[in-house]
Amino acid sequence: MKILILGGDGYLGWPTAMHLTAHGHQVAVVDNYLRRSLGREENVVPLVEVPNLHQRTALWESISGYQIPAFIGDLTKWEFVEEVFREFSPEAIIHYAEQPAAPYSMLNRRAAMLTLRNNLEVTANVIFAVKQFCPDAHIVKLGTMGEYGTPDIDIEEGWLDIEHKGRKDRFLFPRQASSLYHTTKIMDTDLLWYGVRLWNLRVTDLMQGPVYGTETDESMIDERLNTIFNYDEIFGTIVNRFVTQAVVGYPLTVYGAGGQTRGYLNIRDTLQCVHKSEQTPAQAGELRIFNQIMETFSVNQLAEMTRRVGQQRGHVVEIKSIENPRKEAEEHYYNPSYQGLLDIGVEPHYLTDEVMAGMFEMVERYRDNIRPEVIFKGVKWG
């Protein structure tokens, strides 16, 4: 298939581009380096500098033989969107192209407005572009489990059947975002559902939990193909952060009581989920929602695993509870359903001591690059 990856320079976008070309698809990528530029503005850079998108695609072609055309531009600008869709004519669109960090969205009003404008305008432009240029194309959109919040009931996969005063109907599961980033993801889902109802679009919305790791089958060929690895509070996901903190001797930053429980997945499983979703597309007029997680952990459980594995590798690992800068429940019920992706063939990779030890090995190799002063920025939700 011809697959267009929006946000193809990102933590997930670049590995997805390599993975899909390695499986026979014709892929093009789009990016405007927003995440890189925001990282520089906030003085938080990745553990290892990675090549730009043109360099990455050239390197991948020289190693694998697969070409990946790269479009560099801003997807909030309709003229650029039109150019990309007319030139490439995709049959499927993988939509990662958003400001991806909840903490960044809570920094200040400017960051909040950038997140709102960028994320909603890009999603709206994608919907209009599919309607106009490729109405049969399948949109695979990266949502987030953070849309649901932590309700005191089981979390279903996107939809909830309701009986009220003797009548029944089916609604999107209630959303309750904890950050402005998560709020934009809720609005994305509403926009997509509107496009499905109005124009009969076909959409898969993947409610993804925090991802960890960098290693994929494709990146193992050459470490220069590795994706971005952030370890700071703003752009780094929790497992990646904890491993880096342990390596450099920085106390693991557990927010409050540490009972916050979420669903997690290995970066390899993100690639699987996207690939399987593309292989079994939603029907015309269907908004299909999968909860994209493979297992659940509390913050305390992740901290204890990090300490155990770190100590086995000779690190002195301290766990430190700090005042929670976020507005969230620190102890709560959490029981999400996540069967749908397994039903279409995803085979999970679980977070074991061995898997975490592999992450330690990678971070230890670049220990001298770690800047402890950027690990915790103290972004307050209030």
Provide the domain limits for residue 83: 2-374
Per-residue pLDDT band at 251 (split at 50, 70, 90): very high
CB within 8 A of 177, min separation 6: which ones?
146, 147, 149, 183, 185, 186
Mean pLDDT, residues 3-15 taken together: 98
Q: How confident is the model at residue 299 (pLDDT cuts 50, 70, 90)?
A: very high
Please say if 144 is a catalytic residue.
Answer: yes
**CA 41 to chain CA mean position, Å:** 21
Model confidence at 114: pLDDT above 90: yes
Residue 382 lies in a domain: no
What is the structure's pLDDT at 204?
98
Q: Say which of 141, 185, 237, 338 is annotated catalytic.
A: 185
Mean pLDDT of 308-314: 98
Share of the chain above pLDDT 90, in %: 99
Residue 374 has pLDDT above 90, yes or no: yes
Report pLDDT for 244.
98
Average pLDDT for 292-309: 98
pLDDT at site 54: 97
The catalytic position among 57, 76, 144, 204 is: 144
Active-site residue among 181, 212, 231, 264?
A: 181
Mean pLDDT within 202-214: 98
pLDDT tens per residue, range 29-86: 999 999 999 999 999 989 999 999 999 999 999 999 999 999 999 999 999 999 999 9
Tell me the average pLDDT across 102-118.
98
Dist CA 113 CA 166 (whole Å)? 43
CATH number of the domain where residue 251 is located: 3.40.50.720
Q: Which of 141, 113, 114, 125 is nearest to 79 (CA)?
A: 125
> Model-level pTM greater than 0.95?
yes
With respect to residue 108, please indicate whether it lies within any of the assigned structural domains.
yes
pLDDT of residue 382: 81
150 inside domain? yes
Can you give the pLDDT at residue 112?
98
Q: How confident is the model at residue 350 (pLDDT cuts 50, 70, 90)?
A: very high
**Residue 370 within any structural domain of the chain:** yes
- pLDDT tens by residue, 133-154: 999 999 999 999 999 999 999 9
User: Catalytic annotation on 150?
Assistant: no
Residue 306 belongs to some domain of the structure: yes
Q: Is 333 a catalytic residue?
A: no
Q: For the chain, what is the domain count?
A: 1
Task: Kindly state whether residue 379 falls inside one of the protein's structural domains.
Answer: no
First to last CA, the chain: 46
The residue-averaged pLDDT of 153-180 equals 97
Nearest to 143 by CA among 214, 213, 209: 209
Determine the average pLDDT of the residues in 233-244. Answer: 97
In a domain, 40, yes or no: yes
**What's the mean pLDDT in 346-357?**
98
Give the chain's mean pLDDT. Answer: 97
Instruction: For residue 380, tell me if it sits in a domain.
Output: no
